[in-house]
Chains A and B, each alone.
Chain A
Amino acid sequence: QQPVQSPQAVILREGEDAVINCSSSKALYSVHWYRQKHGEAPVFLMILLKGGEQKGHEKISASFNEKKQQSSLYLTASQLSYSGTYFCGTDNTDKLIFGTGTRLQVFP
């Protein structure tokens, strides 16, 4: 039931791009993306509703393919501030279930 995220970890140099994937075995109503810095609370990035929409937030965007029950988070021209653990949350209208996270580290 827990969504599967891949990769588990990513190491980048500043300016490089990354893609984080989230896949569920259940039909989804929406997908959430959050970022958590070490020792802090998760911070909301964006929600994608079913309909295959794509959203953007600065240089971070995401897509949601409801037929494939998958979402991808795209980070372009990464900055040091992008470091953290990224979680997707999948919602089937009952509750939000979070994936195990993707740890992203950006180095100068």
Chain B
Amino acid sequence: DGGITQSPKYLFRKEGQNVTLSCEQNLNHDAMYWYRQDPGQGLRLIYYSQIVNDFQKGDIAEGYSVSREKKESFPLTVTSAQKNPTAFYLCASSIAGPSYEQYFGPGTRLTVT
């Protein structure tokens, strides 16, 4: 079955540690996205990539980094510079740019203490 996988579902880290969230898709989609969701809030765009080896900052990129070395993979690193990293992180993909339907992964809930 085609889809998007994110791992792990729950992640716990100590403050000051970098952590990498995995996102893989087998839909052959060109575009991939990372969103952050806080309780009772909408989805805020962290980074997006419309093609391999290229990515752009979203609205809240500070303290995060990404790479897009393969079409199917778009890992997100939450660095120690991110002041409030505890949140629900969602990865999504679309066949092309933002005008197309986005398919979301199940999300990773990150807790930093």
A86-100 vs B: 1/0 string, CB under 8 Å? 010101011111111
Query: How big is the B interface, by class?
Result: 20 to 34
Check if A2 sits within 8 Å of B102, measured CB to CB: no
B52-68 vs A: 1/0 string, CB under 8 Å? 00001011000000000
Interface residue from A42, A91, A94 paired with B104 (Cβ < 8 Å):
A42
Check if B43 sits within 8 Å of A44, measured CB to CB: no
Q: How far is the CB of B42 from chain A (nearest CB, A)?
A: 4
Interface residues of A in 28-62 (CB under 8 A from B): 29-30, 32, 34, 40-44, 47, 49
Contact A47-B99, Cβ < 8 Å, known A42-B43, A42-B104, A87-B42: yes
Cβ of A101 < 8 Å from any Cβ of B?
yes
Check if B59 sits within 8 Å of A97, measured CB to CB: yes
Bound Cα distance from A2 to B44, whole angstroms: 9
Contact A95-B99, Cβ < 8 Å, known A41-B106, A42-B104, A87-B42: no
Which residues in B have some Cβ–Cβ distance to A below 8 Å? 33, 35, 41-45, 48, 56, 58-59, 90, 97-107
Which residues in A have some Cβ–Cβ distance to B below 8 Å? 1-2, 29-30, 32, 34, 40-44, 47, 49, 87, 89, 91, 93-101
